[in-house]
Amino acid sequence: MVAAALLVLLLIGLGIFGWYSRRARSGQQTPAAPRAEAPASRSPTPPLGGPGEDIELPPLGESDPLVRLLVGRLSSHPAVAAWLTSDSLIRNATVVVQNVAAGGTPARHLRHVGPQAGVAVRGEAGDTLVDPRSHQRYNWMADAVASIDAAGAARLYSTLRPRVEEAYAELGSTDAGFDATLERAIVVLLETPVVEGDVRLVPRGALYAYADPRLEALLPAQKQLIRTGPRNTRLMQAKLREIALALGLTEDRL
């Protein structure tokens, strides 16, 4: 489903592999982030996305071939094709959006397409900075997001809405529906600040945390977006805003 698929592509570039490792070869795993409260959402009316294509949808468990075909029309970028090699595309994308709407991270659902190298740092003890060269490993992901056809994304979301809602119901959700969850996820990411200049880190056990308490207090999904660097944050937020408007969200809701 495209709107969620697009959000997945956006999230692929979010520093999937946990907090800044203090040692490049450290084998430590990142502790799971607590489920955070997301910004309040206003229920969207009418349903997001507008009219979809008049096609017969296969059952949810058999929908991957159709999703690959339709999403593949939106961009020829290799990162899009990489995401489409996974299985249970609608189910996984729905979980990812739900996680981000709650402020969390989609790490375990995206490892097969995320950056493999660790985050580099520079400076002396007591004045550790993120090496800006680390941001470059996310350039291709941000470029993939920027390549997506926003209008086509909104149309495909509407087309696949019945299967999206079915996957969402499987998660045991009892709220107003997936539209509201998608809107919350979009808002979480669009409210992420673009951080220019040096980004200082402080030791936290075997890992690093942001030295700036305002950054450290952000939601996990927002902190991961910052990790992609200012160029990529801007690029992905711009496309996400374009998608949101194509879905029918208005500026006052963003």
Can you read off the two tokens belonging to residue 99? 């996680």
Q: Which run of H or of E encompasses 207?
A: strand 207-210
Cβ-in-10-Å burial (0-12, 13-18, 19+) of 242 comes to middle
Pick the closest to residue 20 from 200, 248, 247 (CA basis). 200
Question: For the whole model, what pTM was predicted?
Answer: 0.80
How confident is the prediction along the chain (254 residues), in pLDDT tens digits per residue? 344 454 545 444 333 323 333 333 333 333 334 444 445 555 446 889 888 899 999 999 999 999 999 988 888 888 778 778 888 888 888 888 888 888 887 555 444 445 545 567 777 666 889 888 888 888 888 888 888 888 998 898 999 999 999 999 999 877 778 999 999 999 999 999 999 999 999 888 878 889 999 999 999 889 888 988 999 999 999 999 999 999 999 999 99
Q: Which amino acid is at 244?
A: A
Q: Yes or no: say if 10 and 96 are a contact pair by the CB < 8 Å rule.
A: no
CA gap 39, 188 in Å, rounded? 7
- In the sheet with 200-204, reading across from the earlier edge strand, the strands are 121-124, 127-130, 200-204, 207-210
Q: φ and ψ at 122, to 5 degrees?
A: -145, 165
CA gap 238, 80 in Å, rounded? 18
3-state SS, residue 15: coil
Q: How far is CA 140 from CA 107, 143, 242, in A?
A: 18, 5, 19
CA gap 69, 84 in Å, rounded? 9
CA gap 124, 2 in Å, rounded? 45
CA gap 151, 179 in Å, rounded? 17
CA gap 236, 218 in Å, rounded? 18
